[in-house]
Chains A and B, each alone.
Chain A
Amino acid sequence: MQLRVHALESILLEKGYIEPAALDELIETYEKKIGPRNGARVVAKAWVDPTFRQWLLTDGTAAIGSLGYGGRSGNHLVALENTPSVHNIVVCTLCSCYPWAVLGLPPLWYKSAPYRSRTVAEPRTVLREFGVELPSDTEIRVWDSTAELRYLVIPSRPEGTDTWGEEQLAELVTRDSMIGTGLAKRPQDLAK
């Protein structure tokens, strides 16, 4: 594959379709600048600020835009809130649609056949593979990203964090908790 990519790259550069710096810009952006810390900041703000939370739930795109996030794979953002009776989990069965703007590029498992094939049919079993065991009566809402909407799960705020500020809370928000394959960390998990 390495040689094949190199061949295509050489042709596109030699023919002047792409400037080499454009490639560096993209790699740098998605390796270092855009990642799940963006989403964690959004979730932490939603936890402490009821007005922002409501805005995020009614117009996710505008709400994340106010924090400077959006654009590519984030133009139509929909936030999904977990509650004591509802758990949300996001998948793209057809390819790999994922909210880059707030989570960066997806992990390999998100793009893999096991996750894409099974999440819509047996989400509980899939969740168990992530170490998540939900009460048997929790409604599981699976969201298959078949259009250009991108979903961000707002996990439930852990107990014992009432006095915490946004920055501290963001530490509890994992990537998986914003996809729905995990829960937010509890305060006692942080030391681990």
Chain B
Amino acid sequence: MNGAADMGGMHGFGPVKIEANEPVFHAEWEKKAFALNIAIGVANIWNLDAFRFARESLPPPQYLNKSYYGLWVVTLENMMLNYGLASKEEVSAGHAAVPTKKAKEPVTAAQVANMVRCGSPYERPTASLPKFKAGDKVRARNVHPKTHTRLPRYARGHIGEVVRIVGCHVFPDSNAIGAGEDPHWLYTVRFDGRELWGPDSDPTVRVAIEAWEPYLESA
């Protein structure tokens, strides 16, 4: 979707603000916002792509005005409401209503440690062959889906070169909307900076994205 999260090439945000000796978290609530989101992810009630879709679906003024972990909190609340983990009344009260319907089993510390150690690989087996090979010229399709996509706006319609076949990976556009993993071949595609930003831009710049096969056409 063309939401506020897709920021590549936007103007007006000012210089990068660098904090010396930055702590991992800036407040106690940030620790909780982080840990709650990661832990509930282990319960597999929703997937990472669905979470990203929910986060970028916030209206742009809201998205841009929230701190990073502030966004996580608002998104978590929305997900809990949408997936029936909590009611609006419970969120307002800050407690589960009585009587409480318990979850089947809680996410444990051991499960979390295992998830950190093992992660969640996105590569999937496939019988299909990749359509493109390294060196092929490809155009990122000029598409504007209203649902989740990982094809950034700045690349759409532009011609780049396949520099690597990554593998067959879960397709976030499908996974985010509950339509299954629908794995597709994934490529690293490199664009010349001038192709993206015009003839007056820095000629030494190359920008690479990862693009699933449905994002690309031969050029």
B146 located at the interface, meaning its Cβ lies under 8 Å from any Cβ of chain A in the complex: no
Whether A73 pairs with B119 at a CB distance below 8 angstroms is yes
Given contacts A23-B39, A26-B35, A94-B150, contact A17 B113 (CB under 8 A): no
Contact of B202 among A3, A19, A76, A122 (CB under 8 A): A122
The chain A residue with its CB closest to the CB of B117 is A71
Measured CA separation A107–B188 after assembly (Å): 25
Interface size class of B (residues with CB under 8 A): 35 or more
Whether A114 pairs with B15 at a CB distance below 8 angstroms is yes
Q: Which residues of A contact B26 (CB under 8 A)?
A: 108
CB distance from A119 to the nearest CB of B (A): 8
Whether B16 pairs with A114 at a CB distance below 8 angstroms is yes
A105 located at the interface, meaning its Cβ lies under 8 Å from any Cβ of chain B in the complex: yes
Contact of A1 among B73, B123, B209 (CB under 8 A): B73
Interface size class of A (residues with CB under 8 A): 35 or more
Q: Which residues of A contact B112 (CB under 8 A)?
A: 22, 25-26
Given contacts A108-B19, A147-B210, contact A75 B119 (CB under 8 A): yes
Measured CA separation A94–B49 after assembly (Å): 12
Given contacts A2-B27, A22-B106, contact A114 B205 (CB under 8 A): no
Whether B204 pairs with A31 at a CB distance below 8 angstroms is no
CB distance from A78 to the nearest CB of B (A): 8
Whether A95 pairs with B5 at a CB distance below 8 angstroms is yes
Measured CA separation A59–B196 after assembly (Å): 30
Given contacts A113-B7, A117-B7, contact A140 B205 (CB under 8 A): yes
A96 located at the interface, meaning its Cβ lies under 8 Å from any Cβ of chain B in the complex: yes
- Residues of chain A having any CB pair with chain B under 8 Å: 1-12, 14-19, 21-27, 29-31, 34-35, 70-76, 93-96, 101, 104-105, 107-109, 111-118, 120-124, 126, 129-130, 136-149
Q: Could you list 5 further interchain pairs (A-B, Cβ under 8 angstroms) beyond the known A17-B106, A75-B119, A117-B13?
A: A8-B80, A18-B106, A25-B112, A105-B34, A118-B16
